[in-house]
Structure 1
Amino acid sequence: MLREDQRELVVDFGRERFQELEHELLVRVLPEHRGVLALGGGTPTSPGVPELLKPFHVVFLDVDLDHLLKREGLLPLHPWLMPNPRAQLRQLLTDRRPIYTSVANATVPTSGREPEEILKDVLASIPA
């Protein structure tokens, strides 16, 4: 989920402008980036972002709704998830999963797993 300062940007700029700014940042950062870059959940759904990610090894860290809610809680959620955050998150996962899997080179399940297990699978997915 977004940090407090990021949530404020979404509220201040609106979701569409936030996504535009995110895209502009990726255009500047990706050509010279070396290492791991963790993207927000909506990033791959933004226009143009899937194309920017094509040259890179992308890993989709898949989580089911119950584990997502346990991990994140309901308090720090985006304003557009109200008034029913559980239903809105369920719909977001349903809508976004096909996009995530189409962008990703690998999918690693995370629900109910320890970080060390997840890391092992992520590292194993990286081409030699």
Structure 2
Amino acid sequence: MLPAARKPLVLIGLMATGKSTVGRRIASRHGWRFVDTDTAIVDRHGPIPAIFADVGEPGFRQLEAGIVSEVFTAVEPGTVISLGGGAVLNEGTRRLLESAFVVFLDADLSTVMPRLAGDTGRPLLARDPVETWARLEQERRPLYEALADAVVDTRNASEETVADRLDMHLRHHLKTEDKDQRP
């Protein structure tokens, strides 16, 4: 078990890269709090496909930015936050990430497609999941890489392996954080 980090751990990356699953595992492993912003949106506003149908992607992104801001306002040491794949598109969210330890969970299409098979809860993938995911990956990768303090490769790795890789980065971050706090 690791001590609680002063900064929140924020997981970013495209849909189905394991942010929620691994985030829960890391939080449980260390006794930390876990927040999934997509779950917070659903709890407050209803299913994401219904939100997209009612207000479109721009309306959804506005709701998402508000939830992310609320989460960061209430963040405490030892918090793991899983952001929706497109949350980083918002400039305000990107500014909030400056106060966090940000980890990009990186995957490829062959890793995520089995996870997406039959998933009807992802409106952006409703028409052509393969082409859309590949396009989003190409568009967003530079942003994820620029925001990340660390990158964890999830390609063909078990949840446990990804969590172990993430822990390695966390241990390094906590050592650095501890050094930065010394007089």
In structure 2, C-alpha distance between the alignment counterparts of 1:92 and 1:81, rounded to whole Å: 10
Of 28-37 and 97-106, more deviation after overlay is shown by: 28-37
Change (3 A) 1:29 1:77: closer
In structure 1, C-alpha distance between the alignment counterparts of 2:120 and 2:67, rounded to whole Å: 24
- SS of 2:47's equivalent in the other structure is helix
One-letter identity of the residue aligned with 1:71 = R
1:123 aligns with 2:123: no
**What corresponds to 1:45 in structure 2?**
89
Would the aligned equivalents of 2:152 and 2:165 in 1 still touch at CA under 8 Å?
yes
Of 59-68 and 81-90, more deviation after overlay is shown by: 81-90
User: Which of 123, 127, 142 is the matching residue for 1:83?
Assistant: 127
**What corresponds to 2:150 in structure 1?**
106
Q: What RMSD over aligned residues (CA atoms) do the two structures have, in Å?
A: 2.0
Higher strand share: 2
Of 92-101 and 74-83, more deviation after overlay is shown by: 74-83
1:72 aligns with 2:116: yes
One-letter identity of the residue aligned with 2:57 = R
Change (3 A) 1:119 1:109: same
Could you tell me the TM-score, scaled by structure 1's length? 0.88
TM-superposed deviation, 1:77: 5.6
In structure 2, C-alpha distance between the alignment counterparts of 1:60 and 1:22, rounded to whole Å: 19
TM-superposed deviation, 1:81: 3.5
Over the matched positions of the two proteins, sequence identity in percent amounts to 28
User: Which of 70, 74, 93 is the matching residue for 1:28?
Assistant: 70
In structure 1, C-alpha distance between the alignment counterparts of 2:152 and 2:80, rounded to whole Å: 15
Could you tell me the TM-score, scaled by structure 2's length? 0.63
Structure 1 residue ranges without an equivalent (≥5): none
Structure 2 residue ranges without an equivalent (≥5): 1-14, 16-37, 175-183
